[in-house]
């Protein structure tokens, strides 16, 4: 990218101007003292449609260079950032938050993340403990079920506020039986085929109002 320098007419300070074309956008940024002005001009059929200016503090200039290395250009990075921002805000406006889960499968730990809302938590007796299913509705309308079995603790650990002082309690196997897994179902009918009781609990929770307004 070629730099062009010229004198600012008002105060004689130097301005460095870069221009690059990306897709149907012309991207211009000029460095003036300690601020960066980004000018994005939308072109359609050779006609200028709109211009946007963004001012950035000098301390944040490196963000544009770093982003351009990954995205290929600053323009591409800005567009991607706006798309990601809008996606997050739309999800939040519809009640979906970022869900992070720690899974444990076949001795391997891994972390997953998705946007969704917690629907319900179901506890049922299982061999040697309590099975816990937490159901989430995802931003794409699917149903994600996180399942684990909480182990029945030995007598000395039950209700013991100092249980963590015993090294035995520091392992995953002390608290849980088997794996902690996540299964995703495209719709409630698919969940019903797998586990009718879970589907019933899910439908019951979905039919309830998220909150009750109290006129107090």
Domain-wise residue ranges, the chain? 4-76, 93-207
pLDDT of residue 149: 92
Rounded-to-integer distance, Cα 35 and Cα 15, Å: 11
The length of the chain is 216
Q: Where are the alpha helices (DSSP H) in 94-214?
A: 172-175, 188-194, 196-207
Lowest-pLDDT range of 3-7, 114-118, 202-206:
3-7
Q: Please, which pLDDT band fits residue 118 given cuts at 50, 70 and 90?
A: very high
Question: Mean pLDDT, to the nearest integer, of 99-117?
Answer: 91
Lowest-pLDDT range of 37-51, 55-69, 154-168:
37-51
Q: Please, which pLDDT band fits residue 27 given cuts at 50, 70 and 90?
A: very low
Q: Which tops the pLDDT comparison, 59 or 196?
A: 196
Q: Where are the alpha helices (DSSP H) in 105-157?
A: none
Residue 75, burial from CB neighbour count under 10 angstroms (0-12, 13-18, 19+):
buried
Count the Cβ atoms, other than its own, within 10 Å of residue 95: 11
What are the tokens at 65?
A: 């260079």
- For the ranges 18-22, 36-40, 153-157, 180-184, the one whose mean pLDDT is highest: 180-184
Lowest-pLDDT range of 15-19, 77-81, 201-205:
15-19
Rounded-to-integer distance, Cα 13 and Cα 3, Å: 16
Contact partners, residue 29, CB within 8 Å, separation at least 6? 17, 18, 36, 37, 38, 39, 64, 74
Mean pLDDT over the full length of the chain:
78
Taking 50 as the threshold, does the pLDDT of residue 68 lie above it? Answer: yes
- For the ranges 40-44, 51-55, 66-70, 206-210, the one whose mean pLDDT is highest: 66-70
pLDDT tens digits, 182-195: 999 999 999 999 99
pLDDT of residue 210: 62
pTM for this one?
A: 0.64
Lowest-pLDDT range of 15-24, 119-128, 134-143:
15-24
Q: Please, which pLDDT band fits residue 3 given cuts at 50, 70 and 90?
A: very low
- For the ranges 13-27, 82-96, 123-137, the one whose mean pLDDT is highest: 123-137
Residue 19, burial from CB neighbour count under 10 angstroms (0-12, 13-18, 19+):
middle
From residue 131, alpha-carbon distances to 52, 58, 74, 111, 144 in Å are 54, 54, 49, 20, 16
Taking 70 as the threshold, does the pLDDT of residue 127 lie above it? Answer: yes
Phi-psi region of 154 (alpha: psi -120 to 50; beta: other; left: phi over 0): beta
């Amino acid at each position: 990218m070629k730099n062009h320098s010229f004198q600012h007419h008002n105060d004689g300070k130097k301005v460095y101007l870069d221009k690059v074309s990306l897709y149907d956008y012309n991207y211009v940024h000029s460095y003036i003292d300690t601020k960066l002005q980004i000018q994005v001009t939308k072109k359609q059929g050779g006609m200028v449609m709109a211009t946007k200016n963004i001012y950035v503090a000098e301390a944040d200039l490196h963000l544009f260079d770093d982003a351009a290395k990954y995205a290929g250009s600053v323009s591409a990075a800005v567009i991607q950032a706006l798309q990601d921002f809008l996606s997050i805000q739309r999800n939040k406006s519809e009640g979906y938050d970022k869900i992070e889960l720690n899974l444990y499968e076949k001795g391997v730990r891994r972390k997953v993340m998705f946007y969704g809302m917690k629907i319900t938590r179901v506890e049922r007796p299982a061999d040697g403990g309590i099975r816990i299913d937490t159901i989430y509705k995802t931003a794409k309308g699917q149903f994600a079920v996180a399942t684990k079995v909480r182990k029945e603790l030995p007598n000395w650990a039950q209700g013991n506020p100092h249980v963590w002082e015993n090294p035995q309690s520091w392992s995953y196997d002390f608290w849980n039986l088997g794996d902690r897994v996540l299964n995703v179902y495209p719709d409630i009918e698919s969940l019903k085929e797998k586990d009718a009781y879970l589907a019933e609990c899910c439908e019951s929770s979905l039919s309830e109002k998220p909150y009750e307004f109290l006129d107090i």
